[in-house]
Amino acid sequence: MNTISSPISPRFNWEAPDLVEEWPTFIQHVGFLIKGPLSSINEEEHCNYLMIWIGDKRRDIHSTWNLSEDDSKNFSVIKEKFENHVKPKSNRVYSRYKFLSRTQREGEIFEKFLTDLRLLVKECGYKDPDDMIRDAIVFGTKYHKVREKCINEGSDLTLEKAINFARTSELSKQQVQSMEDKSVHGISVKANRGQTQYRKQIFHAKNESESTKQKVKDCRNCGKTHDYKQCHAYGETCRKYGKLNHFAVKCR
């Protein structure tokens, strides 16, 4: 076998909790290498690479197949044999149950919901998978307006229309949410500015009040101008009536 280095060698994980889901990712990676960096080598060597990448488990499985010499060099045959071993017989009833039970979850984007529907429908064996995906969108969408638009289309509703309705509705909601977020932010900024201005006004008013208190003109007790609480008549006795804390000139 020629020695050709590949970017990243795949390795099938036999310890994965779900081998059925593990297999498509693995074999897709293998396909990219076979058609890419390893495209210059022959099919028998492709089979050898697959046997290496499939891991040590391959020896036990491969030994039970009793393949002919031609089949042992046929990449498609080897691939199908491993796939049939990994993938149990299809249970269409259960597959359809999973497909029909799939609804768009709260917070889930539509594209993720659509991708899952397309994967699930493959195991269902429906004659027209597109029609089933279309109906699943109508039944499973979390957007009431999307369902309403789809139903209004009646028999003219296609999978493409249902997808467009869902995508448009989701995009509109995102745009409205973005506008509302900006609006709330603007109101918050204005409110903060208003509060700041109010605090400034209170501060200036307080300062003006304090400054007013600093000087007392024509004091009611002494008749002079002096600093706040610095009246010269404090402690003095009125010469007119003998009362405390004011001069005779301001005697009341």
Q: Where are the domains of the chain?
A: 19-86, 92-167, 213-252
d(CA 243, CA 236): 8
d(CA 107, CA 156): 29
Q: What is the pLDDT of residue 151?
A: 93
Instruction: Report if pTM > 0.85.
Output: no
d(CA 250, CA 150): 93
Mean pLDDT of the chain: 80
When mean pLDDT is compared across 78-92, 105-119, 138-152, the lowest value belongs to 78-92
When mean pLDDT is compared across 126-130, 150-154, 228-232, the lowest value belongs to 228-232
**Backbone angles phi and psi of 215, in degrees to 5:** -120, 135
- What is the average pLDDT across 156-185? 85
- What is the average pLDDT across 195-216? 63
Q: What is the pLDDT of residue 3?
A: 47
The CATH fold of domain 92-167: 1.10.1200
In sequence order, what are the residues at sequence separation of 6 or more whose Cβ sits closer than 8 angstroms to the Cβ of residue 246? 220, 221, 222, 233, 236, 238, 252
Helix 129-140 and helix 159-214: axis angle, to 10°? 30
d(CA 145, CA 74): 53
- Quickly state the pLDDT bin for 64 (edges 50, 70, 90): confident
- Quickly state the pLDDT bin for 250 (edges 50, 70, 90): confident
Name the nearest CA neighbour of 22 among 11, 9, 31.
11
- Identify whether the C-beta of residue 140 lies closer than 8 Å to the C-beta of residue 110: no
- Quickly state the pLDDT bin for 241 (edges 50, 70, 90): confident
Burial of 133 (0-12, 13-18, 19+ CB in 10 A): buried
Name the nearest CA neighbour of 78 among 113, 54, 109, 106.
54
What are the beta bridge partners of residue 216?
A: 226
- Quickly state the pLDDT bin for 233 (edges 50, 70, 90): low
